[in-house]
Amino acid sequence: MLESARFGGRHNIPYHRLTSAGHEGYFLFSTLRDPTVHPVRKTILEILKRQGYATVNDLADALDMAPVSVRHHLDLLIGDGLVDSPRVRRTAGAGRPQQVYALLPAADAYFPNNYLLMADESLRALKQSLPQDAMLGIMAEVAGRTAAQAPDDLPQMPPREQAVIITGFLNEHGYMADYEWEETSFVIHTCNCPYSDLAASHPELCHMDLMLVGQLAGTQPQRVAHIADGDARCSYRICTNGLRSSENGA
């Protein structure tokens, strides 16, 4: 059973009282990480996270809102791909069946996780256990596995085509990349570091990125800008005469 506790307004709900299987406790609605989520939709997401599923009437009772208003917020959450109605609950007697709502996997991104802490501790443990060359070998292996997801013939493509495909590949992996063409080279710019919170303590990750760009291009790039050094982005210059391609792309 979920009972609302409200302060300062009808829909200002700082916490709820949850009673289930003889246990009672309070939980604060402050776990969602996205501050742009509407307070009512934030509450709906957290109720579904804790309860697993709920009907419109369940949510209306918990929120002390009219069912029509709850449906409006559910429709928006469904449109965002966060909530779905996977089944129907039939009521006793002649009552109309009710749709049951539950979270979709995409909603997990709005709740806290410990990925960063786990990654940091894992990297620290590896560096304490392995010599530097072995650690860099692991980074090279990770870079290779990532690069293996790109087209097999990427290193043999004309440089201009390479620049486009490498940029698109990096964008798919969260780097916010673009490229700049020069007379005898092109420069790949990555404006976002997908692990910026880890790179300062673990520069091996920056080395991994350098190896990743090199494996995608099929030649050793020159890093000409580095976020870790205070630059706005990381940039990698790739000389076209060093590419394993029979065409110069000009």
- What are the strands, taking DSSP E only, across the chain? 2-5, 15-20, 23-28, 54-55, 83-89, 98-103, 177-181, 185-190, 222-225, 234-239
Return the pLDDT at 115: 87
Return the pLDDT at 8: 32
Return the pLDDT at 34: 61
Cite the DSSP H helix spans in 80-158: 115-129, 132-147
Whether 63 contacts 4, CB under 8 Å = yes
Enter the tokens of residue 46. 């957290």
- Separation CA 88–CA 70 (nearest Å): 17
Number of H helices, E strands in the chain: 8, 10
Whether 229 contacts 223, CB under 8 Å = no
Q: What is the pLDDT tens value at each position of the chain, 250 positions in all? A: 444 443 333 333 334 444 333 333 333 344 565 656 788 999 999 999 998 999 999 999 999 999 999 999 999 999 999 999 877 776 665 567 789 999 999 998 888 888 889 999 999 999 999 999 999 999 999 999 999 999 999 988 999 999 999 999 999 999 999 999 998 999 999 999 998 889 989 999 999 999 999 999 999 999 999 999 999 999 999 998 755 544 444 3
Print burial letters for 159-190: b (CB count within 10 Å at least 16), e (below 16).
Answer: bbebbebbbebbeeeebebebeeeeebbbbbb
Return the pLDDT at 37: 77
Whether 201 contacts 120, CB under 8 Å = yes
**pTM to 2 decimal places:** 0.66
Could you give all domains of the chain from N- to C-terminal order, each with its CATH number? 2-110 (1.10.10.10), 128-242 (no CATH)
DSSP code of residue 66? -
